Chain A
Amino acid sequence: MEGFWNIFQAFSVVLVIGGTPLLFATLGELLTEKAGHLNLGVEGMMLIGAVAGFAAGHFTGSPLLAMGGAFLAGGLGAMIYGFLTVTLRANQVVSGLALTMFGTGISSYLGVNFIGQKMSAEISAFFSPVAIPLLSSIPYVGRVFFRQDPMVYLGYVTVALLGTYLYRTRIGLNLRAVGENPGAADASGINVDLYKYVHIFLGGALCGLGGAYLSVVAVPQWQDGITAGRGWIAIALVIFAGWNPFKAILGAYLFGGLSIIGFYFGNYFSAWNISQNLIDMLPYAVTILVLTASSVRKSKEKGAPKALGVAYYREER
């Protein structure tokens, strides 16, 4: 039993790390969807952020510039999508898929010379775990949540900020109206297009941070396609979270855990004769289950923003 507990604790620590890139990407997509835009380019924006962050860290040696670069690059990537869907009113699904392809391609291209390279020691040191006084001495919880790297903490802060922003501020209120009923928002004097652009940018920037967390902090070396499909899981997680940032953190950690469960509990599973393939399947199987379960959910409040995916023209009716 002692052995299991130790493994469980170690597993929990890594689960938070595995969940953090998902968390940033989920929050980014959530913010975008609140503005009524379904951006399927999450995977692409994460990859753009990952390569930009790695390059910035590699060339400048500054951890802050690495993250700042990833933030900016993710946001700029999203602006391509924003221009297509807000100004040109192109189909959102197609534009998002195009962004994913673009991001995958450009990250491979720019990352070619980084393959196998590691982040510098200074940057890794900057992003090494920091214990938070008092909180970190709580049994189990302290070890798992409060002895982590700064980006994990930034994740917590982002959740709290986003929750407050969406539900406690006027801008958040206006933003939710833009996603629910742009006609109503427009008639209330809200600049719908501006809201869309700003939040598509911020959403992409958060996805960029998620990608850079992988390349700069968690791995931390460059691999081609480093996000490995996490962008798609993030899109599903937004639905899982019911468009609520506080639930997004649960979802992100749950999926972070599922993706490493085989690694930590492999011995137990083989003792119980559970095939490794089944375990590897878990995150995807659970994604399907979650999406099915949440699509039968009827509540008016927890659903997608009503105008999600619909272009808005003022003069159309």
Chain B
Amino acid sequence: MQAQVFVKMENICKTFGNVKANDRINFDVHQGEIHALLGENGAGKSTLMNMLSGIYKPDSGSIQIHGKEVVFNTPKDSIEMGIGMIHQHYRLVEVQTAKENILLGRKGPFFMKGAHVSKDIREIGEKFGLPVDPEKKVYDMSIGEKQAVEILKVLYQGADILIMDEPTAVLTPQETRKLFAILRNMAAQGCAVIIITHKLHEVMEISDRVTVLRKGTTVGTLATKDTNPKALTDLMVGKTVDLAISRPPVERGRVLLEVKDLCAYDMDKVEVLRDISFKLHAGEVLGVAGVAGSGQKELCESIAGLYPVASGQILYEGESLVGNSPRDIIKKGISMSFIPEDRLGMGLVASMDMVDNFLLKEHHNQKGLWLKRKPIAEKCAEIIRRLEIKTPGVHHPVKQLSGGNIQKVLIGREIETNPHVLITAYAVRGLDIGASHTIYDLINEQKEKGVAILFIGEDLDVLLELCDRIMVLSEGAVTGIVRGDKATKEELGLLMAGEDLGMEVAQ
């Protein structure tokens, strides 16, 4: 028997100003299936899903839920039809507890009586393997916990159509595995699950069918078992792409950056960096692996002069950087780009256009009283071309770009300053395959120019393929430095867990 069709979207169109985000899209989802939605950054995936959840209104086209034609004027209409969406950028009230967030907008007695709700939340949580403390404030939660609250909230609303917009972009591999178990469980119980992800191995692993979007149009819907990552990428991009990451051999130069016995503490006086020592040479990519929160952020910020160093040294060409202002450090040619979990949080001013965001970093180098926008605009246009950024133009507010394109702007700006040392953290977070490879190519290009690169990454496969050496952090300490071409994923995993393998430090 054919499974029931839960969602049917036909000929959906949506334009923002002069951007055609969705153009006659067709999309359907069945009961009990996990359906992946795939597409490059800016292909219109979030837009399509936002129309299903009532956040955006389609310009034209029809939506049928459970076989019934619907028009969603508000998210409320969508919730009432059993649709629950977990957004790319979480929508939670930070100062409220998990329970309060879950109760938002729900019907019930005028006065809130907490006890039975807490019990319900715990019960649903246990049923799906989502342990959430109902009384915990959202601002005290890790990303994984916040996501659990979002999922619980949707389940508590009684949703049987679950939409997840890039849920795994900010999760550790362990957290992803747990999430997938939950999703399978939900599908088994008769829900329909839609998941957006850029990681093809995840698509292969979790989905039953996959729909590919390209530039706002549907390219096709395939059964996952009949396809493979290569074919999907080609469909997504519209041409044949090479998925291998190259590691061009480059004659390593002198030591540019040396960190010696670096220690730092956070606001609660907890040690976040413990005796970190390493050397970074010109013309090499040094990868940094580690479970999220192992000190990666603090390390980057210490080098960039944004985090107080308790003891130890950071030497740039033998000269100490500790105590220098961030601007002096940038002037010396050290550039850092950190892609935070919320992407917009650091480095860019969301409401400004690309030119002004570039100016933020460039204006120190301009002479005279007035800002010169013209040369910068030209530079931006060049970067848009080179990184294939999808934007209507250099004067379009950055926040209106799709998540992935925002990121390309940030990285493009860092590379534009022609640094000697380039620190990039989570550079490909949320980027599509094509864009990720563009970034890897850019990094290799910089390396060939003799730039010393510190590459903080999440995906171990990528680290192993791209980096010359990989330094592993665990709880703020270096547990090993290994060679990219010699080490294995298992070794990295063990080092990340803090085990001492007695391995020699790769020089």
Taking Cβ atoms with an 8 Å cutoff, the residues of A that contact B are 168-171, 173-174, 176-177, 180-181, 183-191, 300-301, 306, 314-315, 317
Contacts and interface: CB of A to CB of B under 8 A. Distances in A.
B94 A173 contact: no
A315 B80 CA distance: 20
B74 A180 contact: no
A184 B92 contact: yes
Given A180-B93, A191-B76, A174 B110 contact: no
A170 B96 contact: no
B104 A190 contact: yes
Contacts of B139: 300
B93 A187 contact: no
Interface string B94-111: 111000110111101111
B112 A168 contact: yes
Contacts of B394: none
Given A171-B110, A173-B104, A191 B93 contact: no
B79 A189 contact: yes
Contacts of A177: 93, 96, 100-101, 104-105
A287 B396 CA distance: 42
Contact of A189 (B96, B105, B400): B105
Nearest to B401: A317
Given A168-B112, A173-B100, A315-B55, A185 B94 contact: no
Residue with the greatest number of chain B CB neighbours at <10 A, chosen from A185, A315, A317: A317
A187 B53 contact: yes
B87 interface: yes
Nearest to B105: A188
Interface in B55-85: 55-57, 74-76, 79-80, 85
Contact of B105 (A181, A185, A300, A317): A185
Contacts of A183: 91
A53 B53 CA distance: 47
Residue with the greatest number of chain A CB neighbours at <10 A, chosen from B95, B101, B112: B95
B8 interface: no
A235 to B, nearest CB: 22
B399 interface: yes
Contacts of A300: 94-95, 137, 139
B105 A174 contact: yes
Contacts of A173: 96, 100, 103-104, 112
Given A180-B96, A184-B91, A187-B55, A170 B75 contact: no
B104 A188 contact: yes
Majority SS at the chain B contact face? loop
Nearest to B403: A317
A306 B91 CA distance: 13
Nearest to A186: B75
Contacts of B110: 169-171
A173 B137 CA distance: 14
Nearest to A172: B112
Given A168-B111, A168-B112, A186-B75, A317 B399 contact: yes
Contacts of B104: 173-174, 177, 184-185, 188, 190
A170 B106 contact: yes
A180 B104 CA distance: 12
Interface residues of B, number: 34
Contacts of B103: 170, 173
Contacts of B53: 187
9 closest cross-chain pairs (CB), A and B: A188-B105, A189-B76, A184-B91, A188-B104, A189-B105, A190-B105, A189-B79, A180-B93, A187-B91
30 contacts: A168-B111, A168-B112, A169-B111, A169-B112, A170-B103, A170-B110, A171-B110, A173-B100, A173-B104, A173-B112, A176-B93, A177-B100, A177-B101, A181-B91, A184-B91, A184-B93, A186-B55, A187-B55, A187-B85, A187-B87, A187-B91, A188-B79, A189-B105, A190-B76, A191-B74, A300-B137, A314-B55, A314-B56, A315-B16, A315-B57
Nearest to A307: B93
A270 to B, nearest CB: 48
Contacts of B400: 317
Interface string B211-226: 0000000000000000
A49 B80 CA distance: 41
Contacts of B74: 186, 189, 191
B93 A181 contact: yes
Residue with the greatest number of chain A CB neighbours at <10 A, chosen from B55, B80, B87, B91: B91
Contacts of A171: 110
Contact of B96 (A169, A176, A190, A315): A176
Nearest to A180: B93
Contacts of B96: 173, 176-177, 180
Contacts of A176: 93, 96
Interface string B150-180: 0001000000000000000000000000000
A298 to B, nearest CB: 10
B204 to A, nearest CB: 30
A189 B91 contact: no
Given A184-B91, A315-B56, A317-B400, 15 more contacts: A169-B112, A170-B106, A170-B110, A170-B112, A173-B103, A173-B104, A173-B112, A176-B93, A176-B96, A180-B93, A186-B75, A187-B85, A189-B74, A189-B76, A315-B57
B402 to A, nearest CB: 10
Nearest to A164: B111
A118 B94 CA distance: 51
Contacts of A187: 53, 55, 75, 85, 87, 91
A170 B117 CA distance: 13
B267 to A, nearest CB: 10
A177 B103 CA distance: 11
A168 B114 CA distance: 10
Contacts of A174: 104-105
A300 to B, nearest CB: 6
A22 B452 CA distance: 63
A305 to B, nearest CB: 9
A189 B75 contact: yes
Contacts of A301: 95
Contacts of B137: 300
A89 B6 CA distance: 37
Contacts of B80: 189
Contacts of B16: 315
A20 B85 CA distance: 46
